[in-house]
Chain A
Amino acid sequence: MYEGVVQRLIDELGLLPGVGPKSAQRIAFHVLAADPVDVKRLAHVLLEVKEKVRFCRICGNVAAEEECRICRDPRRDPHVICVVEESKDVVAIEKTREFRGRYHVLGGAISPIEGVGPDDLRIRELMTRLADGEVTELILATDPNLEGEATATYLARLLKPMGLKVTRLASGLPVGGDLEYADEVTLGRAFEGRRLLDV
């Protein structure tokens, strides 16, 4: 245990994803030794990101304004929505340049172990987007693991009465993993080879 504020810094850093107690300590001592100007810049950007960045009112992706760049872009196909778990999946898919439609970010996947059910995801918002009939195809690009598959099955069943074309990315993605870990070529191919979901 360190004294007062040093220990508090270590504790706070330890709450970050992927940072264990050892790394938290290392980062804390790095900060202690660093130039005050650099530390101020880091503190500033941390505050700024919380103040300025928000989630797109339409798709739930991170955005600098009320609506994200993709939702505002008139060249994007308004008839196709790609449903993903997280904003980082949008980044991964954008890199492939295979997809010209718009996105919907759920904010996770169904996982009872972690206490996440459909109500905890942005599913109601998705249904609202689909209400006016402009969207005709939905691509379910949740992660190729059990929770992602379960979420896709749930959505496909929920959407079935609406008569949309509902597709799932082709297999060939590394099973059990995260979408973001697939390389661009594999992910691009999975998009091209997407198949109709039959539930």
Chain B
Amino acid sequence: MHVAHLSLTDFRSYAEVELPLEPGVTALVGPNGHGKTNLIEAIGYVATHGSHRVASDAPLVRHGAARAIVRAAIVHEDRRALVELEINPGRANRARLNRSPVPRPRDVLGMLRTVLFAPEDLAMVKGDPAERRRFLDDLLVARAPRFAGVRADYERVLKQRNALLRSAAKSGRTRAGALPTLDVWDSHLSRAGAELLGARLELVAALRPLVATAYSALAPSSGAAEFDYKCSTELPDTTDREVLAAALQAGLAAVRSNELERGITLVGPHRDELALRLGPLPARGYASHGESWSYALALRLAAYELLRADAGDPVLILDDVFAELDTQRRARLADFVAPAEQVLITAAVPEDVPPRLAGARYDITEATATRTP
């Protein structure tokens, strides 16, 4: 698939911009802070309904404006769709598909699939477990949009259960009274958790060979890239949702007194970790800067391979990644991404883009985009 046109109103530094795009490689080139990343962030938003840079929507709306609008014309196998998102921080967003409103923005998830490489990806290797959980869950949603609902359901149950534990921890009074309702939340949490957990376990298994291959191609002389999914409670070796739900429920029962003491939920997918290794050592805390970068790229490339196998090429977006890599890794990465249907690249210096990825180019200065032949 590819994006044929992007148009923004009051998004980040752009009051108004129209950006016609084509299949193949397009580079967005311009000085620091002039609005390159803002453009690709908007495309990422159409795909995920979130930013790769910030957790909330407020910074996406141009300073002084009340709401932002992102429109993207998407071409997938000769079919053209127009997706429009209205970003209303603090209120519900609105979405339109081919000019007709849809009941919920979630209904247009999946119209555009992207894989975005960005400097922030380094946090997947060096950062907290939450970063790796997000990588897995975002990929689940990208592969099957219904997981946006699964994820939201789980987060809602977790919030309710934590609120109950917190109030029980605060007042000894409700501790006995809270128990029957805690049982109810346990079974709802286990069921929602098992859905998420099972999907993550299947995803991890699918990613394993793809990450190993991508990593060894990017960094042939380094150790092997491997990983394990570490659950917050003991799991049988299965992805059967019923069995997983029972395991989670047993795990919750085992830590209950501790939970009542601390007032938080200690077992469930929100406490799990995707433990990355390079050879015999954990990646986090041991891998070099360059190795960490290659690992992050390998994770994204593996995501790209999976999405591609599911339903054809997603749009590849490379934000400022080449500047971080040595010549050899640049060339290897270029080889991986060159065949994709559409590749969008941002770079402050045009020389950072490898020759293999020569293509169309826009100069981005002061939040205007000018096509350069």
Least CB distance from A67 to B in Å reads 31
Would you call B167 and A157 a contact (CB within 8 A)? no
Interface status of B220 (Cβ within 8 A of chain A): no
Interface status of A186 (Cβ within 8 A of chain B): no
**Stretch from A5-13, A22-30, A31-39, A146-154 at the B interface:** A146-154
The complex places the Cα of A150 from the Cα of B188 at a distance, in Å, of: 7
From A114, which residue of chain B is reached at the shortest CB distance? B163
The complex places the Cα of A155 from the Cα of B187 at a distance, in Å, of: 14
Residues of A within 8 A of B184 (CB): 110, 150, 153-154, 157
Would you call A154 and B160 a contact (CB within 8 A)? no
Interface status of A113 (Cβ within 8 A of chain B): yes
Interface status of B323 (Cβ within 8 A of chain A): no
Interface status of A18 (Cβ within 8 A of chain B): no
Would you call A118 and B180 a contact (CB within 8 A)? yes
Q: Knowing A146-B153, A149-B188, A157-B184 touch, does A113 contact B159 (C-beta < 8 A)?
A: yes
Would you call A111 and B183 a contact (CB within 8 A)? no
Interface status of B300 (Cβ within 8 A of chain A): no
The complex places the Cα of A154 from the Cα of B185 at a distance, in Å, of: 9
Q: Knowing A111-B160, A146-B156 touch, does A117 contact B188 (C-beta < 8 A)?
A: no
Interface status of B157 (Cβ within 8 A of chain A): yes
Least CB distance from B187 to A in Å reads 7
Interface status of A132 (Cβ within 8 A of chain B): no
Of the candidates A112, A115, A146, A154, the one having the most CB atoms from chain B within 10 angstroms of its own CB is: A112
Residues of B within 8 A of A51 (CB): none
Q: Knowing A146-B153, A146-B188, A149-B188 touch, does A112 contact B180 (C-beta < 8 A)?
A: no
Interface status of A158 (Cβ within 8 A of chain B): yes
Interface status of A119 (Cβ within 8 A of chain B): yes
Would you call B163 and A113 a contact (CB within 8 A)? yes
Interface status of B64 (Cβ within 8 A of chain A): no
Q: Knowing A117-B178, A154-B181, A157-B180 touch, does A112 contact B188 (C-beta < 8 A)?
A: no
From A119, which residue of chain B is reached at the shortest CB distance? B177
Would you call A118 and B188 a contact (CB within 8 A)? no
From B185, which residue of chain A is reached at the shortest CB distance? A150
Residues of B within 8 A of A112 (CB): 160-161, 163-164, 167, 181, 185
Residues of A within 8 A of B163 (CB): 112-113
Range of interface residues on A (Cβ < 8 Å): 10 to 19
- Give A113-125 as 1s and 0s: 1 = Cβ < 8 Å from B's Cβ atoms: 1010111000000
The complex places the Cα of A191 from the Cα of B140 at a distance, in Å, of: 35
From A117, which residue of chain B is reached at the shortest CB distance? B181
Interface of A is mostly: helix
Would you call A150 and B180 a contact (CB within 8 A)? no
Residues of B within 8 A of A158 (CB): 180
The complex places the Cα of A26 from the Cα of B124 at a distance, in Å, of: 50
The complex places the Cα of A150 from the Cα of B191 at a distance, in Å, of: 12
Least CB distance from B264 to A in Å reads 13
From A174, which residue of chain B is reached at the shortest CB distance? B103
Residues of B within 8 A of A117 (CB): 174, 177-178, 181
Q: Which of B178-205 touch A at CB < 8 Å?
A: 178, 180-181, 183-185, 187-188
Would you call B157 and A118 a contact (CB within 8 A)? no
Would you call A115 and B167 a contact (CB within 8 A)? yes
Residues of B within 8 A of A113 (CB): 159-160, 163
Residues of A within 8 A of B159 (CB): 113
From A111, which residue of chain B is reached at the shortest CB distance? B160
Residues of A within 8 A of B156 (CB): 146
Residues of A within 8 A of B181 (CB): 110, 112, 117-118, 150, 154
Q: Knowing A153-B187, A153-B188, A157-B184 touch, does A147 contact B160 (C-beta < 8 A)?
A: yes
Residues of B within 8 A of A149 (CB): 188
Residues of B within 8 A of A157 (CB): 180, 183-184
Least CB distance from A183 to B in Å reads 14
Of the candidates B163, B164, B184, B188, the one having the most CB atoms from chain A within 10 angstroms of its own CB is: B184
Residues of B within 8 A of A118 (CB): 180-181
Residues of B within 8 A of A147 (CB): 160
Residues of A within 8 A of B185 (CB): 112, 150
- Give A85-117 as 1s and 0s: 1 = Cβ < 8 Å from B's Cβ atoms: 000000000000000000000000011110101
Q: Which of A142-195 touch B at CB < 8 Å?
A: 146-147, 149-150, 153-154, 157-158
Residues of B within 8 A of A115 (CB): 167
The complex places the Cα of A117 from the Cα of B160 at a distance, in Å, of: 11
Residues of B within 8 A of A146 (CB): 153, 156-157, 160, 188
Least CB distance from A144 to B in Å reads 12
| 30 pairs from A and B in contact (CB 8 Å cutoff) | A110-B184, A111-B160, A112-B160, A112-B163, A112-B164, A112-B181, A113-B159, A113-B160, A113-B163, A115-B167, A117-B174, A117-B177, A117-B178, A118-B180, A118-B181, A119-B177, A146-B153, A146-B160, A146-B188, A147-B160, A149-B188, A150-B160, A150-B181, A150-B185, A150-B188, A153-B188, A154-B180, A154-B184, A157-B180, A157-B184
Nearest first, the 3 closest Cβ-Cβ pairs linking A and B are A112-B164, A112-B163, A113-B163
Give 8 new A-B contacts, CB below 8 A, not counting A146-B156, A150-B160: A111-B160, A112-B161, A112-B185, A113-B160, A118-B180, A146-B188, A150-B184, A154-B181
